[in-house]
Structure 1
């Protein structure tokens, strides 16, 4: 059974979203997603300052099995990119909810309203069963 972390929001595409104290959102892929992908060997992410559309592709994750697009559940401006993944993409496998985070985004609109459209940990867990 994959880990589903409390306090986060989840998408049907197996991304997690965390609301930060400054109102920005942090995004990564779930434990389930990294297990499905296998050993991750490369992560391509957008540049800081890039504008992204809700549900738009913001990069890709390459594993020994496949290449998958990474989608952003909300629109906004990228405020931070996890540069550690450039040299250590395997952080996504070892710590998908920690050091393996992908981006931070300043959302277009109120975070609470945007997050209301995502799944709670309980809803996401039920989807996995």
Structure 2
């Protein structure tokens, strides 16, 4: 997605285990929110893709490297960068940060599918056009 200042996250009590450390699956939830908000900031919300083009983005692959724990009440930032864009798919890198410290690196492969069949299909033109120059 486009270079951004990141999506802010606060670690709440329900995000943590009994020791106050963020549960590992919450990193995926935070990454999803950051991806969604990056598209929305570009004027390309998921709802438009579904309503106007009968398509949606689904995760086909995800890899998380946990570097350091996030803890209760910490303020985090999730950045999202487009690595590669193809006709029906894209690869992203997301980073969960606490200040300058990297807490997790997430590599995500998304594929565009037809909503009715869930078969891969080309990304709608507005998404291709907006994302085309952003691959790093």
Larger radius of gyration: 2
TM-score by length of 2: 0.30
When you count helix as a share of all residues, which structure comes out higher?
2
TM-score under structure 1 normalisation?
0.31
